[in-house]
Amino acid sequence: MTNKEVILEYCGVVTFAKIDRMLDRLSEMPAFRQLRRNIQKQLYGIFVECIENIYKNTGNGRDNLNINKKLPYIRLGKQNDKFCISSGNIIANKRINNLKKRIDTINHLDREGLKSAYMEILDQETLSAEEGAGLGLITIALRSGNKIKYNFTSLDEQHSYYEMKIDVSGASSNQ
């Protein structure tokens, strides 16, 4: 029998102030507070990278014209023996190929490979926006210890809806 539980879910425009409030709310939630501290930190770290990822993709007016078509969302849930963080936001189609390549490359790396890639990006003099996004994705993979699942659904000629799903093990022994 599948045991599903939503710990925190948000659907709507993501602003920096909203991120602050959401993280405050998460930290105060009994379902979150009762988790082991290392699991809390692991989930918090992935949640921040995912919500900041949405903010970077949709914030500062980017894609505002399309915001009503499909709103961003983020969800932290628990299903049987694992936690799951899933997110979605609109993305320009021209960015999809690079993003797919980046996630596929990350998903093919083992932990040592991820660490090397992380250190290589960190050690650069300056980071482009794309490299910054790559660092966030590597951080998600390192913190979760699992592959990043993703999906793109076409909305129109210029935009798609980008969804990401990250599983985190350890829900069965978390309390």
Give residues in contact with other proteins (CB under 8 A): 16, 20, 23-24, 36-38, 41-42, 44-45, 48-49, 52, 115, 118-119, 121-124, 127, 132, 135-136, 138-139, 142-143
Assign 82 to helix, strand or coil.
strand
Q: How far apart are alpha carbons 92 and 27 in whole angstroms?
A: 32
Smaller CB distance to other proteins: residue 41 or 100?
A: 41
Smaller CB distance to other proteins: residue 1 or 129?
A: 129
Nearest-approach distance from CB 118 to other proteins, in angstroms: 7
Smaller CB distance to other proteins: residue 38 or 158?
A: 38
Nearest-approach distance from CB 69 to other proteins, in angstroms: 27
Smaller CB distance to other proteins: residue 113 or 155?
A: 113
Contact 91, 99 (CB under 8 A): yes
Nearest-approach distance from CB 46 to other proteins, in angstroms: 11
- Helix or strand holding residue 73 (H, E): strand 73-79
Smaller CB distance to other proteins: residue 45 or 77?
A: 45
Amino acid at 114: L
Could you tell me which of 97, 17, 35, 16 has the C-alpha nearest to residue 8? 35
Nearest-approach distance from CB 59 to other proteins, in angstroms: 10
Q: How far apart are alpha carbons 85 and 43 in whole angstroms?
A: 8
Contact 167, 84 (CB under 8 A): yes
Contact 122, 134 (CB under 8 A): no
Nearest-approach distance from CB 70 to other proteins, in angstroms: 26
